[in-house]
Structure 1
Amino acid sequence: MPDKFVGKMVPTLTEWRRTFHQYPELGFMEYVTTYKLGRQLEELGFNVHIGKDVLKKESRLGLPSDAELRTQEEEALKHGVDATWLEKMRGGFTGLVATWDAEHDGDHVAFRYDIDALPINEAKDNQHIPYQDGFVSTNDNIMHACGHDGHMTIGLGVATFIAENHKDLKGRFTLLFQPAEEGGRGAKAMTENGWLDEVDYFYTGHIGISSLPIGTIAATIKGFLATTKLNANFSGVASHAGMKPELGKNALIAATTAATQLYTIPRHSDGISRVNVGKIVAGSGRNIIPDKGYLEIEVRGETKEINHYMLEEAKRIMEAAANMYDVTVDFEVVGGAEEINCNDDVVSIIKKGSNSYSYIKEVLPTINVAGSEDASFMINKVQDNGGKATYMLFGTKLDYPHHHRLFDFQEEVLAVALETYVAILKGGSSK
């Protein structure tokens, strides 16, 4: 029964989660994390694929600088990553895919788990359990503040179940440990490398998002928005602000004008639309007319069409602001996601064994959420090919929101989530 396996795994799940939490890594730089996952999966008997086999090079978005990548690669060697592994991952080819073909024919089922952390300095505060219990982040200004340490842990638990029970399962299993979810940067590259092309069922999910009691899960979600993440670079001409101001072309004023005017984009009548300016950098001194201005913005829409409308309007406004001050502007897309529409018929698969659950207390057919998710590329690829897909939520109390320096989740949710995936495997892939 699933509950016996999950009960046996609880101490290991806690240990894995805390180990991952202590060494968080940012997107496309998860070298140590990928290596630890890969070695564990190899020991279980999976075929493990890494490097350019996993990610389509030109489809990666928002890649760190070469200098940042080199620094993290050197750190990875210091932390025990095998040189042959690192050579395959160099240049930001992190993440992995683990595959298993069962002895009996059946559906191809894929599961996705994100692995990256956030540029947040974790709180060293006595009210914060990771600090209390000694597993706080050891990397300054990097933190697992969104539960991805738990997602990886759940993925390893699923892999362990498959390895131990493969004789009683049928079909093919693909586990995708995806880099760079934050900012919507990694899933597209994995999807466009073909890993979802022949999948019949696809499952992924998230710890938290909505604060729900332990034991409560949602089988599907509604509300994730399509989004585009955009950087804008304004270029003008520097000059002395006192002696020759007429020779200057002020990129700072152009950038700030754009930043305020972006919020005037009319909302769309067909659905939800969003815009946000999250960062502005410009100027070098009070007596210098700034020749550079930089914005980080995002737009969102309830559909791809609405998101596209917001993106084109945002570009138009930024170009108009640049023209007003006789400067130029260039854009770089650094992330994105599509809308998600889950298949309702997967609810019955998840509910199939509900009478025998030990850790799951309630299965909600669906729940409304906000934000965006780059797993949308995977979900939509599977559905476009005739498969079924869903995005689940696993309830936990949230004393602080995701992306907060005091973020944490109740570790009991790990067993709940693992039992959910085990029930899916037993319900959809048993003899």
Structure 2
Amino acid sequence: MFATSLSPLSVDSSRIRPKIQALQPMLVELRRRLHQRPELGFREHLTAELVSQKLQEWGIEHETGIANTGIVATITGNKPGKVLAIRADMDALPIQEENDVPYRSQHDGVMHACGHDGHAAIALSTAYYLSEHRDDFAGTVKIIFQPAEEGPGGAKPMIEAGVLQNPQVDGIIGLHLWNNLPLGTVGVRTGALMAATEGFRCTIQGKGGHGAIPHQTVDSILVSAHIVTALQTIVARNVSPLESAVVTVGELHAGKALNVIADTAFLTGTVRYFNPVLGELIPQRIEQIIAGICQSHGATYQLDYKRLYPPVINDAKMAELVRSVAEGVVETPIGIVPECQTMGGEDMSFFLQAVPGCYFFLGSANVEKELAYPHHHPRFNFDETALEMGVEIFVRCVEIFCRVED
């Protein structure tokens, strides 16, 4: 329903508490400052400097330099309770921005084209609100500002650095501003939300020769063509039709002349799936297919298969927490979108493997304001009204999750 119509739903401001509504100008200012100075993974020095500067200004305890540019802020309520982590990514993409806005990127060839500037602004403002209202929540909140989500991945090194310990985190939440959903909606579901992200590179070695004398050669292009076609049978014939998976060959390079049979071909591809069981089946079948075709043609191969991010799988109780909170913020039932899976990947998955948690989508598209370009597009932008909605949802989750029931 929302894939074709991204007109915003009505946003009831009465569902957002006045003290959070009052933060909207700060949210917009922070987001736009971050947007103007985008940085690639593990190079978020200016971003981290701004985050740390604000936390210090507000008197919020925090640690910097985790996994190079990561930051963890800790805010403790005035009553004992559980520990909830909130994760926000900070990095940008190697894209030249085409938006004609006063806050456009000042860094040539780098752009916040996926909403991470908004994620950091929401998390930072959530930290500010909680620090000013410690009597209103129990327990402890750890806000994780993570580098390098777009690659090569900052979640795993932050976990290895101990960000989920001291104190030990009981649950974790995070959001993604999502231009595939209109403003006024929240996409939340139990189980798999986003797919595993894996990739492969393969070199096919044949025997070159004259294009007019093919019987003296082993044609690496012909071998590669058979491989590309055969790889599509994995999803079609080895994966249950009740499951979702993708095997895509994105690159194929070979040859330099029209009358020369190329001795070497190079191809790369990506693999996506939701069910972790497929993480063993698909790479096994990829190698079997490549090996079999190469053997039948007299070619050899070298295959490099990399597991990047596992699937994003939400805990049932944590997803129910987010859904119940979101129902108090957006118009129900139409504002809650449970069927919102995507084959996109996210290294939030590593946090969700470590502790129970929920990652959810916060609708941010508004076609009426021409704010509906897709993620990773050079004109990506979003309706900033979503920022205060994100803070409200985070704060409500803290207030409910961290309290200790009598």
TM range (shorter): 0.7 to 0.9
Contact 2:190–2:316 (CA under 8 A) maintained in structure 1: no
Deviations 1:235-264 (A, max 9, x none): 648977689999987666555543333222
1:85 counterpart residue number: none
- Rounded to whole Å, the distance in 2 between the matches of 1:120 and 1:247 is 46
Quote the offset at 1:272 in angstroms.
Answer: 1.5
Q: Is residue 408 from structure 1 mapped to residue 381 from structure 2 by the alignment? A: yes
- Rounded to whole Å, the distance in 1 between the matches of 2:44 and 2:375 is 20
Deviations 1:210-236 (A, max 9, x none): 322x33324445543542422414164
Distance 1:354 1:318, change over 3 A: closer
Please list, as runs of the form range in 1=range in 2, the aligned pairs for 1:219-298 lying within 5 A after superposition. Answer: 219-220=188-189, 223-234=192-203, 236=205, 255-265=224-234, 266-269=237-240, 271-283=243-255, 293-298=265-270
Distance 1:280 1:178, change over 3 A: farther
1:83 counterpart residue number: none
Contact 2:70–2:145 (CA under 8 A) maintained in structure 1: yes
The one-letter code sitting in structure 1 at the alignment partner of 2:299 is D
Q: Is residue 146 from structure 1 mapped to residue 146 from structure 2 by the alignment? A: no
- Rounded to whole Å, the distance in 1 between the matches of 2:287 and 2:88 is 33
1:193 counterpart residue number: 161
State the number of aligned residues.
376
Q: Which runs of 5+ in 2 are unaligned?
A: 1-14, 367-371
2:46 counterpart residue number: 32
Deviations 1:269-296 (A, max 9, x none): 2622211122334456667765664433
Distance 1:190 1:258, change over 3 A: farther
- Rounded to whole Å, the distance in 2 between the matches of 1:321 and 1:99 is 55
Distance 1:405 1:122, change over 3 A: same
Contact 1:340–1:376 (CA under 8 A) maintained in structure 2: yes
1:23 to 33, 37, 40: 37
1:120 counterpart residue number: 95
Distance 1:105 1:21, change over 3 A: same
User: Match of 1:340, SS?
Assistant: strand
- Rounded to whole Å, the distance in 2 between the matches of 1:367 and 1:117 is 27
TM-score, normalising length: structure 1: 0.75
The one-letter code sitting in structure 2 at the alignment partner of 1:268 is V
2:17 counterpart residue number: 3
TM-score, normalising length: structure 2: 0.79
Contact 2:138–2:402 (CA under 8 A) maintained in structure 1: yes
Q: Which runs of 5+ in 1 are unaligned?
A: 56-88, 124-129, 384-388
Contact 2:35–2:111 (CA under 8 A) maintained in structure 1: yes
User: Match of 2:313, SS?
Assistant: coil
- Rounded to whole Å, the distance in 1 between the matches of 2:348 and 2:336 is 21
1:378 counterpart residue number: 351
- Rounded to whole Å, the distance in 1 between the matches of 2:324 and 2:175 is 16
Deviations 1:321-345 (A, max 9, x none): 5554534314152622224133246
The one-letter code sitting in structure 1 at the alignment partner of 2:93 is L
Quote the offset at 1:297 in angstroms.
Answer: 1.6
Contact 1:218–1:366 (CA under 8 A) maintained in structure 2: yes
Distance 1:3 1:225, change over 3 A: closer
Quote the offset at 1:13 in angstroms.
Answer: 0.9
Quote the offset at 1:412 in angstroms.
Answer: 0.6
Quote the offset at 1:111 in angstroms.
Answer: 0.6
